[in-house]
Structure 1
Amino acid sequence: MTEMAVGIFTRRQPSARPGRLSGRFWTVCAISIPLAVLSVPALAQDADDPSGASRVALVIGNSAYQNVTPLPNPANDAELIAEKLWESGFEVIESIDSDRETMLADLATFRSRLREGSEALFFYAGHGVQVGGRNYLLPVSVAPASPEDLRAQSVDAQLFVDIMDASGARLNIVLLDACRNNPFTEIDSEDAEDIATRAITVGQSRQEVERGLTLLSEASSGGLAEMTAGDSETMISFATAPGAVAFDGTGRHSPYTASIAENMDEPGVELAELFRRVRGGVRERTDGLQIAWTTSTLENPFYFKPDTDDLRGSTTGLGVEGDTLGGLPPRRIVDRTFWRAIRDTDRLDAFEAYLRTRPDGAFVDEAVARIAALGGDPDAVLATDPALPDLSAQAQVGQTASKADVIERLDRDVHAVPIGVGPRDLDLPATASDGWVYVSRTPRLGEVRGADGSVIDQGSVHYMQPGDVPEFEPFVGSNGGLEALEGLALGQDGATDPVGVEIEVYVDACDMLAGNPYDSERVTAGTRQFILDRNFDAAIVACELAVDRQPEVVRFWAQLARAYRAAGRYEEAREWQVKAVEAGYVNAMVYLGQMHLDGQAVAQDFARAYELFEAAEEAGDIAALTALAWVHRAGVGVPQDYAVARGFYEQGAARRNDWAMTNLAEFYQKGLGVERSPELAERWYLQAANSGELTAQTRLARMYQDGDGIPQDFDKARFWFETAASRGVPNGLTRLGIMYEQGQGTATDVEAAARLYVRAARAGDGEAYFRLGRLYASRTPLFDDPARAALLLERAIEKRVYGAERELAKLHETGRGVPKDMARARDLYAAAAEGNPWAARDAGRAFASDDGVEPDFARAAEWYRRAVEGGVPWAAWDLAKLTEAGRGVDRDRVGALVLYATALGLSDDQNLARLVGEATAGYDDVAFVTAAQRLLAASGDFAGAADGVLGPGTRQALAEAVAARNAGLPPEPVTIETLAALAAPR
């Protein structure tokens, strides 16, 4: 084996697990990441495309390692950074405790969101290693038994850097808080045995495993390698300097992450200055033992929070119509916002919705207690399908710290003011109630007004009379954050007293969970229908509470109606939709129109629907364009007219409505009113997919996977399935799993496929149950569990998944994992045979079997015949045997010969050809001629009697039929090959 240099950049806190080192652990860091551009195929993107977000971040934090040392802080660190970035206007793809396929899927989404001119950031916290000069970030699923395994199971850090570099982003920032201990020098005996067992199961010897683990543990070396940032404007920062050490810290966060986070919040700090401060903060936190290291080719300034008085328009996805990521904000934001909305209620459904949607949230214990106190059953809410295996990471480590961060932020004594609901009073200290106040700081995220309505500016002096209460109103256009109003109360004697209040600006839970991405009056990027459909119970609770607390905010009425409609609660949806329309809320017109179109709690009224759509379109609503397009496309209330529909879709696409783009793509893909053009379909799907439209992503992936009018490209198919899977699209997860299982566009990885199938099944995808069940029934190493397979296949049958009955029938037929039951197998095969001729053949075999049941040859013959009609060659062989013996059918040797020929004509299987040859060797010339006459008569090529005589009429019909079929055979003597040519499909 060639010599390998393996350096480690990872981290560790003291572990409570037996057999591991404890205490404050540190190690040397080794990293080498040249910024050469990797050969990554760039996606077709328009450099002038305005739909892309200006700020995009991928944040990964891996703590819950399954087979190497778990790490307390990375997940918590990543959640903190994600929160800070979101409040700085970034669109954040957050990836916590991720396996390899999830990391790659989230990277694909990150890549799809980068544009020319973007500001891109990648943050990673967790284990990482260097092998042979390449650096690998370790997913929580990593279980390598050798350096080669490590490469295959990890993600090359260079890939992240190169994708950013090739994206055309204006600026790239890479932050790696991963320079810690070597996880392979401290594998305890339990983990080592788990890794060994896994490796041995897939075919390695114990000696190979022990040698591979030794290589891993001995391969770490060196310090941090110096590196250059390449030609693009890039800054790369590591937790520690060349040859130095990195600490994980004793608090909630690593010294490096804590220093970054505290400096991100300060407005007007340029990036170079910020990392000078980070360097000082890390040194101070580690008593001078750790020095953060940065390399940069930046030429232009960058600020996480520019020092401006107005941050309106900074919210990613708000300034562009119809372009949002397709996911909720970072975990902490959603957790805190939803709990803030429900914590003071006594609604059982509120806490059940929290527990279901936030099962690892900071307030789970409180939610469980509240559910129990209100007479509910928290265990029922958290129940999972016992058929599904637990292939996820172990329970998260470090969650105590993460929860403490969230709870501390929520419980701060601040004025919490939601965006877009009007002003809120600010209670200033008593010292400011009668006299002059100098205002030294005002919130940048909103406007403070005095009792007389005048704006209070920073640097101004105001006289405050007793009873005067200033008010604060956030601007629409930011993601919120912590702010302050500060000043000095000026006393009569010249003394001053500091006065001030802390303010938290936030997006209301109703806006976060039910805001419409196509609503021009929304206050945040919005929630795609797919996300709302999965979380409608939480959205309903949040919006009902929002309406109760702010009954004057019409936007909440429309969003509540949207949530009700997602839940199928049409009466309530209609009530609030009508109220919103009567109040002049434009976007509500579209959805009330759709209810009239579908007859949901209102009379189906196409004219009224069209009237509402037109009114909304005239008022500038982009969703109205796709609604009008649908009316003309479907021909409901108007003549069907694809050209008119396409015109509306084109108008919507011109205004960046990605659902309009998706439909335009479908028009060109299917040739609806236009000449079919896969190339134009690809173009429109690509624009919509880059905009974050999930349906477009999966359809585009299928086009690449199938080669639907465009070159088949598994790499591109995998990329777009990954983007959909990253956002949790169930069938996207399943299709990506199939690519891993079959090795399409990637190395075959059955473990990755299984993990993806489990996630998809938990999200309700029936095909995932089927794929997972078939995997557990297949005797594949690590997944040989036919009993579980039977449970999974039963679930798939309940969901009406094609093929599930046949797979379960095989288990019952053989008695694998379930009691052997041929009667049950027969029923299942028969059910499957309705749409599957091969299952019809299986049904025939089952009915012909005498294995614990009486054979039923008549039923067997029926199923074989159906299978033959479906083109199954072996069923023709089976039916020929029954016909030859007269079992279940009249004995007919010539008919059997026709069936043997049919089997041969349907297949080029050499084994089948051999068996047919052996079976027909004893037939005489008369039988062959009679069979030929029957076949010629069946095809309309012969009108004579099937008498076995090779007369002139038969000879002529044979010659013409053989020539017409280009069989290349002499017309006589008649052979089984001649019969096969006559029996073959034309």
Structure 2
Amino acid sequence: MAFATPAISQDTSENQSASRVALVIGNSAYQSVTALPNPANDARLIAEKLWESGFEVIESIDADRETMLADLATFRSRLREGSEALFFYAGHGVQVGGRNYLLPVSVSPSSIEDLRAQSVDAQLFVDIMDGSGARLNIVLLDACRNNPFVALDTQDADEIATRAITIGQSREEVQRGLVLLSEASSGGLAEMTAGDSETMISFATAPGAVAFDGVGQHSPYTASIAESIDEPGIELAELFRRVRGGVRERTDGQQIAWTTSTLENPFYFKPDTPDLRNSTTGLGVEGDTLGALPPQRIVDRVFWRAIRDSDKLDAFEAYVRTSPDGAFVDDALAHIALLGGDPDTVQEVDPVLPVLPQQNDSLRTEYKADVVDRLARSQNAVPIGVGPSRITLSEQSADGWVYVSRAPRLGEVRTAGGSALNQGTVHFVRAGEASEFEPFVGSNGGLEALEGDVLGPEGATDPVRIDIESYVDACDMLAGNPYDSARVTAGTRQFILDRNFEGAIAVCELAVARHPDTVRFWAQLARAYRAAGRYEDAREWQVKAVDAGYINAMVYLGQMHLDGQAVSQDFTRAYELFETAVAAGDIAALTALAWVHRAGVGVPQDYAVAREFYERGAARGNDWAMTNLAEFYHKGLGVARDAQEAERWYIEAAKSGELTAQTRLARMYQDGDGIPQDFEQARFWFETAASRQVPNALTRLGIMYEKGQGTSPDIEAAARLYVRAAQAGDGEAYYRLGLLYGSGAPLFDDPSRAALLLERAITEQVYGAERALAKLYETGRGVTKDIARARALYSVAAQGNPWAARDAGRVFASSDGVDADFATAANWYRQAVDGGVPWAALDLAKMTEAGRGVAQDRTEALIFYAKARSLSEDANLARLVDEAMAHYDNAELVKAAQVMLARMGKEPGVADGQLGAGTRRALDQAFTEQGADLPSGPITIETLAVLAASILETEND
């Protein structure tokens, strides 16, 4: 049985290799300016090359501004002391006032000020990298194209004008602004400063000059980088000398790439060493990873390679859902139809949601050509961590001696006789001989070649080249566990797996079938089954893996015993499995044991023991342990509450990529929960989680954009975030979108859509949705006016919302197309008053005064007026109460005070409206208990309000 050895030592000391982190952005599908054919494909290609060079890659394709900033936040969170950082951008960029602005696909400016607000300053990326402590920063800008505002076509100009006019600008202002935009940049980008750290900044062309987008699938600049980055042993300065030459050649000398550098130490994308494992990020420390899927080209290729020859309908359906913009979507849909499935249901879109702009089909066709070309070159492709696989070594027509001039560095080739084909060796190879290739564990793979010379008679030679590819199997990619020391890639966090379990199951089932002796695939298949709730299937493969001695599987089988998932609930057996895994060095088992003691399952509950296990896990880099330690200090579980200590541990876990820690930390900053309120930090951590598509983080970030918390208000950005959150399954996002489309805001005044969105939010059981929809039915906005429907909705909403109870009171008191029901209205008003709603007290006071739905009683009415004043300092409310008080005399005020004092147990005497000694004594006692001085003179509404506050406090207690 094949076991994957640990990728590299789990040592977290200073000997650990530096992390390599890249942010790659490619914007092609511009909505209001000229679209560009190549940037998205350029970015995907560079992302693939960087991932295969050992970088952790944050890939952002056709990004709007909020997505660019969110991905930048994630990039920033992953940078640390000693990192090797790289930023690549392809797309529109313009120079304004000596600064370079990178344009999101959502950009639609009608003025220079709009442009600055809607784009991202390129210097921001450089400054963040410079301040991160990274030992080396590389900035690559393929954005030196023509100013896109110089020759706007009529349709684009009209779209920009329509948007600007809708939000309040005049047509003349728009026309003037567009002229200034067209004149703002003569083309090209401005020179940029590199900061104090070692930094290289490279432009596709010289400052102030204009670069070509290219006539092929890639720009001249990107194509030149891509052809050089794969060659081992090229130092960065030499690589960019080659890039400069490649760009010049591709453009017939019309474009010259430009570079500025403060580098002092050498850097190699692929060092010329026999083993690249120490330069692969994500394999050094369990759990310290984004835990997201690799770049799209990588996922596309390995997923399609895994399923293309199968007859598994669910595999092709899973591909479409996992990669809706993938290169092989059309092929997958064709397979689905051939296998009896329904292609239309696989690509269902929610008709309730607005449609976000998408990349056009022509761009996807070019992208597919790239991926297909790479697959075609991968005839000898071997997955990492499954042992040796047979490959066709010889292209000779006869037996002969072969000199090996270059051998693969990502694995080892052996002849049929077992000899290793190392560089510089000579071997006798028979024609058509099948040999073996075994990739090393610890790289992200790549396409290489075995090169040599066939030695002929009298010293003649015949060159031979065999392409060989090592790759991460789709099962490892989609279901690998970041906390598994025997993993072969960085792994996929549970949140990502929970969203993609269909794909993980499909490819892991195929991996198990193809490599039945690779126990790692058994454990990963079990993990995917468990994520899908298929516990019987999970148990079968988990037990097999445990019986085979796979350590990490012991943790998950133990968890199944804790929960009784397709196995007996057996706390003793779970504890034994966890202890065995801990003894073998598994860090996930530490958090499992911590949970046992925390929850008190099978053992006495003991927060102190649980905390010890969490501390042991945190010391070894387990970010889930860090998250739980933070929660202990946040909630005071077995320790004194300490918000600063909670913040410290949440930050450690959040920087490690733990998504729960990121969202909790963001909420702490947003709410000022034990720490100073800090909207900027809240936005930053919501952005990091939103960048990984965490549904509620997308919604919370949208709220911050809508309200202008930590950023300028941007309703359009908020709407886009809400749509993505809803697509990701967050019910609150439907509610937020419904409120937005029902608000009458410019660009979003669509109450009919609001009603549909709110209906969906109700099905998702989102608090507040019934009340918001009821308002639409009450007013007839977007729906046929229906007071009966409004009453029903308000009545549901009122069960947990006193303000909705007040609304229910209003519509039951209404006679607009229905008969008024004052008794029911009064009941809802009472509930609202009990919940502290001042306006309901005013409403009930008027009903009591008039005797509608309740017995007419002016004294009780006065008491409700007093409650209204006590519950709010609203000047408008106070005015209305004062106007009502004009109809009451002093005796009625005294009588109301006497009734209130009696209810408080103060014994004022008979409620006769006379301000005698007993009433004065009772008043003085009541005010003293409230810590207030009794005013001299007659009873006023302010006097009654103090008594009302005391009564309300008693009633609420």
TM-score (norm 1): 0.93
The reply on whether 1:335 has 2:335 as its aligned counterpart is no
- The 10-residue stretch of structure 1 (658-667 or 435-444) with the greater mean CA deviation from structure 2: 435-444
In the alignment, is the contact (CA less than 8 A) between 1:689 and 1:697 conserved in 2?
Answer: yes
Partner of 1:508: 473
In the alignment, is the contact (CA less than 8 A) between 2:385 and 2:488 conserved in 1?
Answer: yes
Q: Secondary structure at the match of 2:902?
A: helix
Distance between the aligned counterparts of 2:704 and 2:395, measured in 1? Answer: 66
The reply on whether 1:796 has 2:761 as its aligned counterpart is yes
Distance between the aligned counterparts of 2:84 and 2:881, measured in 1? Answer: 68
In the alignment, is the contact (CA less than 8 A) between 2:403 and 2:453 conserved in 1?
Answer: yes
Deviation at 1:701, TM superposition (A): 0.6
Q: Out of 761, 764, 768, which is 2:733 matched to?
A: 768
Q: Secondary structure at the match of 1:426?
A: strand
Q: Out of 319, 324, 333, which is 1:359 matched to?
A: 324
Partner of 1:653: 618
Which string of whole-angstrom CA distances, capped at 9 and with x for unpartnered residues, describes residues 232-270 of structure 1? 211111111245442222111011100000000100011
Q: Secondary structure at the match of 2:278?
A: coil
In the alignment, is the contact (CA less than 8 A) between 1:428 and 1:500 conserved in 2?
Answer: no
Distance between the aligned counterparts of 1:49 and 1:382, measured in 2? Answer: 48
In the alignment, is the contact (CA less than 8 A) between 1:664 and 1:684 conserved in 2?
Answer: yes
In the alignment, is the contact (CA less than 8 A) between 1:440 and 1:486 conserved in 2?
Answer: yes
Deviation at 1:619, TM superposition (A): 1.2
In the alignment, is the contact (CA less than 8 A) between 1:53 and 1:113 conserved in 2?
Answer: no
Distance between the aligned counterparts of 1:149 and 1:228, measured in 2? Answer: 25
Partner of 1:275: 240
Q: Out of 528, 550, 553, which is 1:563 matched to?
A: 528
In the alignment, is the contact (CA less than 8 A) between 1:822 and 1:846 conserved in 2?
Answer: yes
Q: Out of 203, 207, 222, which is 2:172 matched to?
A: 207
The reply on whether 1:166 has 2:131 as its aligned counterpart is yes
Q: Out of 617, 635, 639, which is 1:670 matched to?
A: 635
Partner of 1:443: 408
Partner of 2:95: 130
Deviation at 1:497, TM superposition (A): 2.6
Residue pairs, 1:891-906, within 5 angstroms: 891-906=856-871
Distance between the aligned counterparts of 1:947 and 1:885, measured in 2? Answer: 22
The reply on whether 1:681 has 2:649 as its aligned counterpart is no
Q: 1:242 to 1:157 in 2, by over 3 A?
A: closer
The reply on whether 1:598 has 2:563 as its aligned counterpart is yes
Q: Out of 857, 872, 877, which is 1:912 matched to?
A: 877
Deviation at 1:920, TM superposition (A): 2.1
Q: Secondary structure at the match of 2:539?
A: helix
Deviation at 1:543, TM superposition (A): 0.4
> Which residue type is aligned with residue 902 of structure 1?
K
Q: Secondary structure at the match of 2:386?
A: coil
Which string of whole-angstrom CA distances, capped at 9 and with x for unpartnered residues, describes residues 513-533 of structure 1? 000000011100000001000
> Which residue type is aligned with residue 636 of structure 1?
V
Distance between the aligned counterparts of 1:192 and 1:376, measured in 2? Answer: 44
In the alignment, is the contact (CA less than 8 A) between 2:18 and 2:279 conserved in 1?
Answer: no
Deviation at 1:364, TM superposition (A): 1.0
Distance between the aligned counterparts of 1:511 and 1:413, measured in 2? Answer: 19
The reply on whether 1:835 has 2:790 as its aligned counterpart is no
Partner of 1:871: 836
Distance between the aligned counterparts of 1:300 and 1:97, measured in 2? Answer: 34
Q: Secondary structure at the match of 2:784?
A: coil
Which string of whole-angstrom CA distances, capped at 9 and with x for unpartnered residues, describes residues 104-131 of structure 1? 0000000011111111111100001111
Q: Out of 34, 45, 49, which is 1:69 matched to?
A: 34
> Which residue type is aligned with residue 500 of structure 2?
N
Deviation at 1:637, TM superposition (A): 1.3
Q: 1:310 to 1:65 in 2, by over 3 A?
A: same
Residue pairs, 1:187-586, within 5 angstroms: 187-221=152-186, 225-226=190-191, 229-242=194-207, 244-393=209-358, 395=360, 398-429=363-394, 431=396, 434-464=399-429, 469-586=434-551
The reply on whether 1:940 has 2:905 as its aligned counterpart is yes
Which string of whole-angstrom CA distances, capped at 9 and with x for unpartnered residues, describes residues 528-563 of structure 1? 001000000000001000011111111111100110
The reply on whether 1:816 has 2:787 as its aligned counterpart is no
Q: 1:424 to 1:720 in 2, by over 3 A?
A: same
Q: Secondary structure at the match of 1:309?
A: coil
> Which residue type is aligned with residue 304 of structure 2?
W
Q: Secondary structure at the match of 1:498?
A: strand
Distance between the aligned counterparts of 2:229 and 2:188, measured in 1? Answer: 29
Residue pairs, 1:696-845, within 5 angstroms: 696-845=661-810
In the alignment, is the contact (CA less than 8 A) between 2:394 and 2:434 conserved in 1?
Answer: no
Residue pairs, 1:103-142, within 5 angstroms: 103-142=68-107
**Matched residues, percent identical?**
78
- The 10-residue stretch of structure 1 (637-646 or 425-434) with the greater mean CA deviation from structure 2: 425-434
Q: Secondary structure at the match of 1:185?
A: coil
Q: Secondary structure at the match of 2:403?
A: strand
Partner of 1:632: 597
In the alignment, is the contact (CA less than 8 A) between 1:629 and 1:645 conserved in 2?
Answer: yes
Q: Secondary structure at the match of 1:483?
A: strand
Distance between the aligned counterparts of 2:423 and 2:291, measured in 1? Answer: 38
Distance between the aligned counterparts of 2:16 and 2:584, measured in 1? Answer: 22
Deviation at 1:498, TM superposition (A): 2.6
Distance between the aligned counterparts of 2:810 and 2:36, measured in 1? Answer: 56
Which string of whole-angstrom CA distances, capped at 9 and with x for unpartnered residues, describes residues 151-170 of structure 1? 00000011001001111111
Distance between the aligned counterparts of 2:361 and 2:842, measured in 1? Answer: 57
Distance between the aligned counterparts of 2:665 and 2:877, measured in 1? Answer: 40
Unmatched segments (≥5 aa) in structure 1: 1-46
Q: Out of 887, 892, 900, which is 1:927 matched to?
A: 892
Partner of 2:5: none
Q: Secondary structure at the match of 2:279?
A: coil
Q: 1:930 to 1:903 in 2, by over 3 A?
A: same
> Which residue type is aligned with residue 271 of structure 1?
L
Q: Secondary structure at the match of 1:590?
A: helix
Which string of whole-angstrom CA distances, capped at 9 and with x for unpartnered residues, describes residues 599-628 of structure 1? 111221212111111111111110001111
Distance between the aligned counterparts of 1:71 and 1:703, measured in 2? Answer: 41
Q: 1:244 to 1:185 in 2, by over 3 A?
A: closer
Partner of 2:3: none
In the alignment, is the contact (CA less than 8 A) between 1:435 and 1:463 conserved in 2?
Answer: yes
> Which residue type is aligned with residue 589 of structure 1?
M
Deviation at 1:938, TM superposition (A): 2.6
Q: Out of 801, 807, 820, which is 1:855 matched to?
A: 820
Q: Secondary structure at the match of 1:318?
A: coil
In the alignment, is the contact (CA less than 8 A) between 2:94 and 2:189 conserved in 1?
Answer: no
> Which residue type is aligned with residue 387 of structure 1?
V
Number of aligned residue pairs: give it: 940
TM-score (norm 2): 0.96
In the alignment, is the contact (CA less than 8 A) between 1:315 and 1:524 conserved in 2?
Answer: no
Q: 1:465 to 1:376 in 2, by over 3 A?
A: closer
In the alignment, is the contact (CA less than 8 A) between 1:776 and 1:789 conserved in 2?
Answer: yes
In the alignment, is the contact (CA less than 8 A) between 2:17 and 2:278 conserved in 1?
Answer: no
Distance between the aligned counterparts of 1:877 and 1:487, measured in 2? Answer: 93
Unmatched segments (≥5 aa) in structure 2: 1-11
